[in-house]
Structure 1
Amino acid sequence: MTAVQPITRRPAARRSPLLTLGMLAFLIYFLLPLFWLVVASTKTTGDLFSSFGLWFADDFALAGNVRRVFTAQDGVYGQWLLNTAIYSLASAGGAALLCALGGYGFAKFPFRGNRLMFGLVLGAIMVPSTALAIPTYLIFAQVGLVNTPWAIILPSLVNPFGLYLMRVYAEDAVPDSLLEAARIDGAGELRVFRQVVMRLLAPGFVTVLLFTLVATWNNYFLPLIMLNNPSLYPVTVGLANWAGQATVAGGGSGDVIPLVVTGSLVSIVPLVLAFLLLQRYWQSGLTTGGVKQ
């Protein structure tokens, strides 16, 4: 007759009031500017300067402000938004694909100079993108790509951090046994990458995609020096131009500032939707294509 083991209860998780307060402070710090932006976008020009900044005014003017944003200057804001979407989607998709190819190659194809070249990639992460903006402009000016969409898309395809992330992710996410099995079945390297590797790298691919999408969408300095045609501006440069007009206008700045505020709110909506739509790829797919032991 076996002895009955006593049931032991796990100790309840301890909650730290100090840690909770710290997390609430960080939450307020990050959400307060967004809350102010939402509130300010619902106000008229007069209420924007006369009412309390962190609460709504009596006149809820969000619909009118949005309509003014898209109709001002013959609807140029819509063109800016479309330009930003084109630049960001092309850059994010291309950069994520290149990072997946490069990271998979570094992780699964040993070759002479692998560590040295990957060390150069790590070194490139330390170089700020603003330091490369002027040299990039001079190179693009020589080949006639300044003031074209390619002046924004091509530099954004280079993502050293994304390459580093995909290399680290591919080392553990792609089993060597699965690659060998696919090659034994007669699959070529391109087919192996397309049908096997990309499925395993989906969470990392989406991570790099989102990072590049946000970076390109919020990029300001590179489009500022590369583009001089207002019809090619992204949202960041276009809103900065409107803000500059408000500063120059002086007394008449009240008519332009609501456009800048509401336009800023509208510009972040696609990023929020992108995160919500692609979030499931981080939660699912981590075990996609796993090898049964």
Structure 2
Amino acid sequence: MTRIEPRAAAPARRAAGRTRPRRRYAPERRRSLLLTLLLWLCVLYFVLPLLWLLIASTKDNADLFSSFGFWFGERFSLGENLVTVFTTRDGIFGRWILNTVVYAVVSAAGATLLATMAGYAFAKYRFPGDKVMFSLTLGAVMIPLTALALPTYLLFSSAGLTNTPWAIIVPSLVSPFGVYLMRVYAADAIPDTLIEAARVDGAGEFRTFWQVGLRLLAPGLVTVFLFSLVATWNNYFLPLIMLNSSELYPLTVGLAQLQAASSAGGGSQALFSTVITGSLVSVLPLIVAFLVLQRYWQTGLATGGVKG
């Protein structure tokens, strides 16, 4: 005989089913072996060259070719290699470091400022042709720098700026990707109501940007600054065609010149260990810059999490 429940019993049982305790989220259940292996492969891809560079910098020329690449040689020659790096050709390596620091810092600061101002304007203002201009900026991201090398050289040559620091700094001030990044970041990081409140209080547009916008855009500023810094620091082709004097070379062109002298053979001096040690020295400032500036990323992520 079929048992008939009261009408109130069915909703009660459904409510009891809904109040069952849920299983706690276990992160280990979501782990994927394939993704873990891919991440470890990516780590090895980036770390192994740096590890090889560090180990190779401790070897002399003989040990470079007679010992295993990822192990130390018979002699620990890091100190001697560093002395050779900074004394070769009357210590021109120090001049190359200074040139690279000036080119990279000035270019990165200028590119960050221009990209931030342009990104802020595209995100918070509406003016005739704004969409067309932003589309052209996005299109400039797709143009390879080598395609612009010859027109840039001819333009700077006609202006008499070749073989000067400005030939490296001025082209590096243009960062289409930085404009795009700051436009996307400013659209969400700066509320329109905050800008309207500043206008009501009597603040002008420039004052609103400098005192309100820049403070909220700090993580984006650091990101664009680091991208521009690394791009200018590692730029090789532009200084190669713009500069003729070795006194103005950055590290990239200077080390390539030493490498060419080492590979020339004949009566040239073998400077393989010197070039490798110089490459290690050239990488260290970028590592320090990242370690110093990464706290601004962490601060931006924490602020976003609190706002969310």
Give the TM-score band, short-chain normalised. Answer: over 0.9
Provide the TM-score with structure 2 as the length reference. Answer: 0.90
**Is 1:62 aligned with 2:78?**
yes
Cα deviation code 1:73-124 (max 9, x no counterpart): 1110000000000000000000000000000011111001110110000110
Match of 1:281 in 2: 296
Match of 2:118 in 1: 102
Match of 2:12 in 1: none
Kindly indicate whether the alpha-carbon contact (under 8 Å) linking 1:235 and 1:267 is maintained by their aligned counterparts in 2: yes
The one-letter amino acid paired with 1:8 is R
Alignment map for 1:109-258 (pairs within 5 Å): 109-250=125-266, 255-258=270-273
**Structure 2 residue ranges without an equivalent (≥5):** 1-14
Kindly indicate whether the alpha-carbon contact (under 8 Å) linking 1:178 and 1:291 is maintained by their aligned counterparts in 2: no
**Is 1:9 aligned with 2:18?**
no
**Is 1:260 aligned with 2:275?**
yes
Cα deviation code 1:214-271 (max 9, x no counterpart): 0000000000000000000000000000011011125755x31111100000000000
Match of 1:76 in 2: 92
Per the TM alignment, residue 289 of structure 1 is displaced from its structure 2 partner at its CA by 10
The one-letter amino acid paired with 2:177 is F
Moved over 6 A (4+): 289-293
* Aligned mates of 2:25, 2:299 — CA distance in 1: 31
Cα deviation code 1:18-54 (max 9, x no counterpart): 2212221221122111111111000112111111111
The one-letter amino acid paired with 1:194 is W
The one-letter amino acid paired with 1:273 is V
- Tell me the matched-pair count: 291
Worse-superposed segment, 243-252 or 87-96: 243-252
Match of 2:49 in 1: 33
Task: Give percent identity, aligned residues only.
Answer: 61
* Aligned mates of 1:274, 1:291 — CA distance in 2: 27
Cα deviation code 1:187-230 (max 9, x no counterpart): 11111111100001111111000000000000000000000000
Per the TM alignment, residue 58 of structure 1 is displaced from its structure 2 partner at its CA by 2.9
* Aligned mates of 1:104, 1:22 — CA distance in 2: 37
**Is 1:24 aligned with 2:76?**
no
The one-letter amino acid paired with 2:241 is I
Provide the TM-score with structure 1 as the length reference. Answer: 0.94
The 3 A distance-change label for structure 1 pair 292 and 69 is closer
The one-letter amino acid paired with 1:228 is N
Match of 2:64 in 1: 48
